[in-house]
Structures are given as C-alpha cells and as structure tokens.
Chains A and B, each alone.
Chain A
Amino acid sequence: MDAQKVDMFIMTNGKFFEAHQVAIIRDRMLQLDDTKWATIQTMQFKDPTTSLIISLLGGSLGIDRFLIGDTGLGIGKLLTCGGLGIWAIIDWFMIMGATREKNMAKLQQIL
C-alpha cells in the first residue's frame, strides 16, 4: 500500500492503538495491496476516552465491558456489584488499554 495512505491512516487512527503496536501496524499495512484500503479506511474503532467515561459512570454495572465487547466479563461485573467495587476501580485504569487491545484485534482480522 502507498506510504502516504498508511501515514494518513496512522495520523487519524493512531490514538486507538497502543503506542508499541503502531510501528507493527505501519509495517503490515505497507505490505498490503491497495484493494484492502477501502475496508480499512471505513473501519470503526472504539474510542478509549469514551470507554473511560463510561467506566467512571457505569463501571460497577459493567457497562464499560459490554461496550468494548467483553460481554462475559460485563456480566461478571454486573452480577458482583463491580467485583465488590474493587474490580470497578481497577478497571478505571485498565479499560483504556483493554479498548486499544480490542481495536487491535479488530484490525488484525484484516491485516
């Protein structure tokens, strides 16, 4: 794929991935052929900041985990009052990383 297109993608969507993954994403995308560009460009990623806000407000109901697609963990959080309140607090710090990992897993299906 064209280096200019790849850099444009990285600039717009860099915040959705972990810093150490960006270099790998760039390398992989440079090897892809141009037919995948339309699919990659229109992909929707979850914003880590949004999930942090949801986690602060509805963390003990597990809504943050439901949002990023971890339905099982969400149910676990919902049934235990946010893991006795402790898991909810831990997730305030973990949820942004978890969201970025989910985004990466989504992008990896194409790369």
Chain B
Amino acid sequence: MGRNKFYLFLATACTAGYVWIFVNTVYRTNNFQLNTCIIKHVTDIPCPSCGTTRSMISILNGDFVSAMLWNPLGFVMAFLLIICPLLISYDLLYKKQFLLNTYLRVESYFKIKKVAIPMSLLIIGNWIWNIYKDL
C-alpha cells in the first residue's frame, strides 16, 4: 500500500471511529443500542473486541475502572484514535512518512513469533473474559 493510500485509509477509519463514538454518546439509551458486530449477531457470542465502544464512552466520562471492566481494548483504541490524526497531520504538513514507517516497523515486530503468540493469548484471554461477562 502506498503512502497516500494508507493515509487516506487511516483518515477514513479515524473519521468513522469518531462518528461512531459521537453517535453512540448522543443517541445511546437502554432501549436503543447500536450493534454492528457480525459474530454477535450470528452466534450470540461476543467477539474479542465487543464492549470497546462502551469502554471508550466510560473513558470519555472519566470512569477508567469501568472502562477497564468493559473491555481493556478500549484504552488501545482510544490511544490510536487520539494519536493517529495528530501523526497524519504532522506527516502531511512536513511531507514526511513517520507514521507509515512506524506502522511497518510495528507490523514486522508483530510477525515475530515471540511477540505474536503472547499477544494472541492475551486476545483469546480477553475473548474468554468477554464471553464470561456476557457483553
């Protein structure tokens, strides 16, 4: 993937993320809940990242403990949603490709077995916890 295509993709993803969070904070009530997770719809079992939205809303409200209890991945997503637009605008302003290079370095790092296996185990553990919590 080229630099511009990658940045366009990432910018679209970030915009979608912010719109999603906005829609959920404004319109979410107990009777009306948006749910786009295919796995949840098909099997009625939560997926590893179910609860991330609720976790991020808790972070927005400053309630970090319940954010952790909803889904720890919410912190990762919140961090990415904050850092990505900043880095994209930095790279576009100064005509650099710091973000793309970092992405490629992190990607090759995650391909190492010693990193990939513990990470997969963490995700699977989180998944089991999600099923146990019945999100």
Contacts and interface: CB of A to CB of B under 8 A. Distances in A.
Interface of A: 59-61, 71-72, 75-76, 78-86, 88
B103 interface: yes
Contacts of B77: 79-80
Contacts of A79: 49, 52, 73, 76-77
The SS class assigned to the B binding surface is helix
Majority secondary structure of chain A interface residues (helix, strand, loop or mixed):
helix
B67 interface: no
B134 interface: no
Contacts, number: 51
Interface residues of B, number: 23
A60 B37 contact: yes
Given A83-B13, A84-B36, A86-B36, A71 B111 contact: yes
B73 A60 contact: no
9 contacts: A75-B110, A78-B123, A80-B77, A81-B47, A81-B50, A82-B38, A83-B13, A85-B37, A85-B38
Given A71-B107, A72-B106, A72-B110, A78 B49 contact: yes
B39 interface: yes
